[in-house]
């Protein structure tokens, strides 16, 4: 007797097993695999670096130079680019590998069958890490929070605070009201604008996380739909499309983080 096995693309990542009572999901396994790959590659490449680059090192240095030029157009300064380059490129590499690993054969198709509520449900061992909103939300929070930490280090806590809670504008009202009566209208508006900026910071987190998650999850659903129609041949062009989408989304995420860092570390008069 044949038993029906149910497969579906869920918005949430599925738990594969538990460790000390903590559920380990398939997307979490994928992110661990990415970290392992980056670590191994970093240790291997570190031992192979030459003063005169050749082969892979030459290509990698060319890619780094290209990224530096692009980042310069955002920061407006090579000094700033070099300062924040390792932080931003970490996002780019991590997201790109997560996006592309989700396209490898076996990811999403090799797994186990579990029984839940009388149904046999197929759960893959691996799933693209960025197809899980938890991952993209964590990345967005880290990026935005660190942009504020860099801001405090660059311009000082007092000036950073006045970008959002403009205490300085309120203190200036009694000092300058006789010379400039319009300040009683202008400065409260400045305070209100600063409070709107606080809301904007939360909007940054939502925008970053949902944009990346939405594009990668939609790609998963698209490939699954094409495979269901015709498993041989039909999904191939869509896989090439998803390779481009994965690269573009990783690049956009990294550039936006760099833009947030640049804006937050700029003095108000700039």
pLDDT reading at 6 higher than 60 = no
Q: Phi-psi region for residue 25, left (φ > 0), alpha (ψ -120 to 50) or beta?
A: beta
Output the CA–CA distances (angstroms, integers) from residue 171 to 108, 155, 166, 198, in the order listed.
Answer: 59, 20, 9, 20
| pLDDT at res. 161 | 81
pLDDT band at 244 (very low <50, low <70, confident <90, very high): very high
Q: How many CA atoms lie within 13 Å of 244's alpha carbon, on the beta-carbon side?
A: 5
Select the more confidently predicted residue: 121 or 150.
Answer: 150
* CA dist., res. 20 & res. 14, Å (int): 17
Mean pLDDT of 81-98: 94
The mean pLDDT of the chain is 82
pLDDT reading at 62 higher than 80 = yes
Mean pLDDT comparison of 57-71, 196-210, 246-260, highest-scoring range: 246-260
Which pairing describes strands 15-19 and 22-25: parallel, antiparallel, or unpaired? antiparallel
Other C-beta atoms closer than 10 Å to the C-beta of 168 total 15
Give residue limits of the domains in the chain.
Answer: 5-264
Nearest to residue 130, comparing CAs of 246, 226, 8, 22?
246
pLDDT band at 269 (very low <50, low <70, confident <90, very high): very low
% of the chain surpassing 90 pLDDT: 33
Whole-model pTM: value is: 0.83
The whole-angstrom distance between residue 240's C-alpha and the CA centroid of its chain comes to 21
Please, what's the largest Cα pairwise distance for the chain? Answer: 91
* Per-residue pLDDT reduced to its tens digit, 7-48: 666 667 777 777 777 888 888 888 998 999 999 988 888 877
| pLDDT at res. 254 | 95
Residue 148, judged by CB atoms within 10 A of its CB (0-12, 13-18, 19+), counts as middle
pLDDT reading at 235 higher than 50 = yes
| pLDDT at res. 69 | 93
Mean pLDDT of 131-139: 91
Select the more confidently predicted residue: 267 or 193.
Answer: 193
* CA dist., res. 99 & res. 74, Å (int): 24
Three-state DSSP class for 20? coil
Mean pLDDT of 191-220: 87
| pLDDT at res. 226 | 80
pLDDT reading at 1 higher than 50 = no
pLDDT reading at 111 higher than 80 = no
| pLDDT at res. 4 | 54
Mean pLDDT of 200-213: 92
Mean pLDDT comparison of 83-92, 106-115, 165-174, highest-scoring range: 83-92
Q: What is the DSSP letter of 50?
A: -
Q: Are 30 and 110 in contact (CB under 8 A)?
A: no
């Amino acid at each position: 007797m044949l038993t029906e096995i149910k497969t579906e693309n869920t918005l949430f990542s599925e738990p594969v097993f538990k460790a000390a009572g903590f559920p380990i999901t398939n997307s979490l396994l994928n992110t661990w695999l990415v970290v392992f790959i980056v670590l191994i590659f970093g240790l291997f490449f570190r031992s192979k670096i030459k003063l005169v680059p050749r082969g892979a090192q030459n290509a990698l240095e060319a890619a780094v130079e290209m990224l530096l030029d692009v980042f310069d157009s955002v920061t407006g300064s090579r000094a700033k680019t070099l300062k924040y380059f390792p932080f931003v490129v970490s996002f780019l590499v991590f997201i790109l590998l997560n996006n592309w690993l989700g396209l490898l054969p076996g990811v999403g198709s090799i797994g186990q069958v579990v029984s839940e509520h009388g149904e046999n449900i197929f759960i893959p061992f691996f799933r693209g890490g960025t197809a899980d909103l938890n991952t993209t939300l964590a990345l967005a929070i880290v990026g935005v929070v660190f942009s504020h930490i860099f801001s405090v280090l660059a311009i000082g806590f007092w000036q950073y605070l006045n970008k959002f809670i403009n205490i300085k504008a309120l203190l200036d009202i009694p000092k300058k009201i006789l010379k400039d009566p319009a300040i009683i209208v202008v400065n409260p508006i400045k305070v209100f604008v600063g409070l709107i900026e606080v809301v904007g910071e939360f909007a940054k987190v939502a925008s970053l996380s949902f944009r990346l998650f939405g594009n990668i999850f939609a790609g998963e659903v698209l490939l699954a739909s094409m495979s269901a129609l015709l498993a041989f041949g039909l999904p191939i062009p869509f896989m090439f499309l998803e390779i481009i989408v994965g690269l573009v989304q990783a690049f956009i995420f990294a550039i936006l983080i760099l833009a947030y860092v640049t804006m937050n570390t700029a003095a108000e008069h700039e």
